Amino acid sequence: MNVKLAAQVLSSSMADAIDYLRSIGHPSFAGSEATVEYLRYLDRLFDILNAKNPVGTGFKSPLRLNNKHVWTQVFEETRHYLTELRVDGKNIMTQRRETPVFGLIIDTYSFTELATDLFDVNMTYLLPYKASQDHIEMFFSCVRARGGANDNPTALQFMFIMRKLLFRNSVRPSINANCTNPDYENSAILEFRSAKRSIVEDDNTTEENETDKSDVLMHLVDRTDLSDYKNNILYYISGYIVMKILDKLTNIAEPCS
């Protein structure tokens, strides 16, 4: 299972989509209020536990003293929700697959105590993502990629793989890895002056592929027989694109007088 894809299911976007389908009377989503509540609780908790940007906002902001009342309240509400959660009429804490629930509850207690101790030594903020195992997973993804996708290298192979990682610049994890971080990069111990010697893995996008994508998009836009679902999807995607473009347009020309 690819975690970075599976985690997208437990998101506020998915909850919004289910709410929309239920509101328009889709029969498959009748009575889905409990599912939406479940998604929103976990999405909020995931955002806090995966905060990685010091200037993040909302639930993705770092753990600080001035927002302690926010994340402690989220932790407390989520713990109460998970401990009261029932599946097939039985409390989930008494079932065989209670491990993820226990793990999330332990995380809330652990980060509360860790943040409190670090704030006592004048630490400004805490990024919970830095305490995850993603970093070592991405490192081993680099090791596996250098060895030809070999999961079990010999000692000699591992020695040469480490040599590659130590003396080559910009070695990044595979895009197909279990977890990815676009900012993660295994830097070399020696810096090359020439940028040409820096090895950067790109997405292999060619001009021909871009042209094919544009043709498909224009064909989709020209169609007028789209269902209400597809029209709403296109409306949502278009709005997202416009929002991102407006964020980057910082220098807008003043109108002529």
Q: How much is the pLDDT for 198?
A: 45
Which helix (H) or strand (E) segment is 126 a member of? strand 125-126
- pLDDT of 201 over the 50 cut: no
Q: pLDDT tens digits, residue range 11-45?
A: 888 899 899 889 888 888 998 999 999 999 999 99
Q: How much is the pLDDT for 218?
A: 61
Q: What is the mean pLDDT of residues 221-232?
A: 71
Q: Give residue 197's pLDDT band: very low, low, confident or very high (50, 70, 90).
A: very low
- Closest CA relative to residue 12, chosen from 31, 38, 39: 39
Cα dist from 238 to 97, 114, 161, 253, whole Å? 40, 42, 44, 23
How big, in percent rounded to 5, are the helix, strand and coil portions of the chain?
A: 60, 5, 35
Which residue has better confidence, 70 or 191?
A: 70
pTM value is: 0.65
Q: How much is the pLDDT for 136?
A: 80
Q: How much is the pLDDT for 169?
A: 60
* C-alpha–C-alpha distance, residues 60 and 49, integer Å: 8
Lowest mean pLDDT among 141-145, 146-150, 216-220, 238-242: 216-220
Which residue has better confidence, 110 or 253?
A: 110
Cα dist from 202 to 53, 161, 177, 181, 252, whole Å? 24, 21, 15, 14, 32
Mean pLDDT of the chain: 78
Beta bridge partners of 91: 86
Q: What is the mean pLDDT of residues 121-142?
A: 84
Q: Give residue 171's pLDDT band: very low, low, confident or very high (50, 70, 90).
A: low
Residue type, 248: K
- pLDDT of 123 over the 80 cut: yes
Q: Is 58 left (phi over 0), alpha (psi -120 to 50) or beta?
A: left
Which residue has better confidence, 225 or 83?
A: 83
Q: What is the mean pLDDT of residues 51-62?
A: 88
* C-alpha–C-alpha distance, residues 140 and 154, integer Å: 15
Q: How much is the pLDDT for 109?
A: 93
Domain ranges of the chain: 3-131, 134-197, 207-248
Cα dist from 163 to 142, 168, 186, 188, 256, whole Å? 12, 8, 12, 10, 61
Q: How much is the pLDDT for 38?
A: 92
Q: How much is the pLDDT for 75?
A: 94
Lowest mean pLDDT among 44-53, 87-96, 194-203: 194-203
Q: What is the mean pLDDT of residues 191-216?
A: 52
Tokens of 18: 């289910």
DSSP β-ladder status, 63-64 and 125-126:
antiparallel
